[in-house]
Homo-oligomer: A and B are copies of this chain.
Amino acid sequence: MSLEEALARCATETEALLDRLLPPHGFPASRITEAMRYAALGAGKRLRPFLVVESAALFGVPREQALRAGAALECVHCYSLVHDDLPAMDDDDMRRGRPTAHRAFDEATAILAGDALLTYAFDILSSPETHSSPEVRLTLVSRLARAAGAAGMVSGQMLDIEAEASATQALEAITTIQTLKTGALFRFACEAGAVMGGADPDALLRYASKIGLAFQIADDILDIESTPEALGKATQKDRGKGKATFVDVLGLTAAKAQADTLVAEAISSLAPYGDRAATLNSVAQFIVTRRK
């Protein structure tokens, strides 16, 4: 199976699982369930669930369990997109080729749907269907809370907004922001696989840190080289706001070289797993060669 086929298979499985797990249409408040389903279903590469599934596969974790942890993580990812797109934050109208949640519904509904998706992630993780060991489920809850909260993603978004105001140009500052904002959920994805498999997560965490940064650099490059039509969202918004990207600080050529270096380092982190890490190695390469 090619990487593209494996990604598509995981995306289809994640979509079906989220469709089954999310509150049904109309219950208990129809508007909130419609908005949650709008934000979480029907689009997205499902890259984070794929990282959970492939990391878990290294340790023989049952695929249906890894998919549940991936679905919980995807709820958090989708909530973060809904809140980040709000007028008070990045003020985006388009996401994944469709109107953003606050455009399709309204701001109040988008805030609440994001809140509900975040909350639901912890419900999914705490269920015995996610893993037979209560200790493992608690570790997943705790690690996701840290990755998503003030020690991780939320602070990344806060620093990103503050950087916009100060138009900071330092590579170190951008790296810190993106390590929190994008990196924290990538690290949780790979760590979750090891936690579910009762394995040491260190090598996977090193891999995840590298591909998280490579992902963001690739995003900044696509933002320059691609079009709103291809990406399904506005491009060059950061530039319009005077906010520095990796491309601004490094230049396009050096940014591409840096992304390639990070991919090589990510792959090297997984050397202990040998050929079993072939798919994860391919993902690392995909992250900098993707067209959207």
Interface residues of A (CB under 8 A from B): 23, 28-29, 31-33, 36, 79, 83, 86, 88-89, 106-109, 111-112, 114-116, 118-120, 122-123, 125-127, 134-135, 137-138, 141-142, 144-146, 148-151, 154-159, 161-162, 180
Assembly CA distance A29 to B158 (angstroms): 7
**A29-B158, A123-B149, A154-B119 are known contacts. Are A111 and B86 too (CB-CB below 8 A)?**
yes
Interfacial chain B residues near A89, Cβ < 8 Å: 108, 111
**A28-B150, A138-B134 are known contacts. Are A158 and B109 too (CB-CB below 8 A)?**
yes
Extra A-B contacts (10), CB below 8 Å, given A28-B180, A115-B149, A123-B141? A28-B155, A28-B159, A86-B111, A108-B161, A114-B115, A115-B118, A122-B144, A125-B141, A127-B142, A134-B137
Interfacial chain B residues near A141, Cβ < 8 Å: 122-123, 125-126, 138, 141
Interfacial chain B residues near A31, Cβ < 8 Å: 158, 162
Assembly CA distance A149 to B159 (angstroms): 27
**A28-B180, A89-B108, A108-B161 are known contacts. Are A120 and B138 too (CB-CB below 8 A)?**
no
Assembly CA distance A120 to B154 (angstroms): 11
Residue contact B108 to A88, C-beta cutoff 8 Å: yes
Assembly CA distance A124 to B83 (angstroms): 23
Residue contact B112 to A158, C-beta cutoff 8 Å: yes
**A28-B150, A120-B145 are known contacts. Are A111 and B88 too (CB-CB below 8 A)?**
yes
Assembly CA distance A156 to B28 (angstroms): 9
**Residue with the highest number of chain B CB atoms closer than 10 Å, among A79, A142, A148, A149:** A149
Interfacial chain B residues near A32, Cβ < 8 Å: 150, 154-155, 158
Residue contact B122 to A122, C-beta cutoff 8 Å: yes
Interfacial chain B residues near A29, Cβ < 8 Å: 150, 155-156, 158-159, 162, 180
Pick the contact of A154 from B112, B138, B154 — CB < 8 Å?
B112
Pick the contact of A137 from B107, B108, B138 — CB < 8 Å?
B138
The 3 lowest CB-CB distance pairs between A and B, nearest first, are A88-B107, A119-B149, A134-B134
Residue contact A150 to B116, C-beta cutoff 8 Å: yes
Shortest distance from the beta carbon of A31 to any chain B beta carbon, whole Å: 6
Interfacial chain B residues near A145, Cβ < 8 Å: 119-120, 122-123, 126
Assembly CA distance A149 to B28 (angstroms): 11
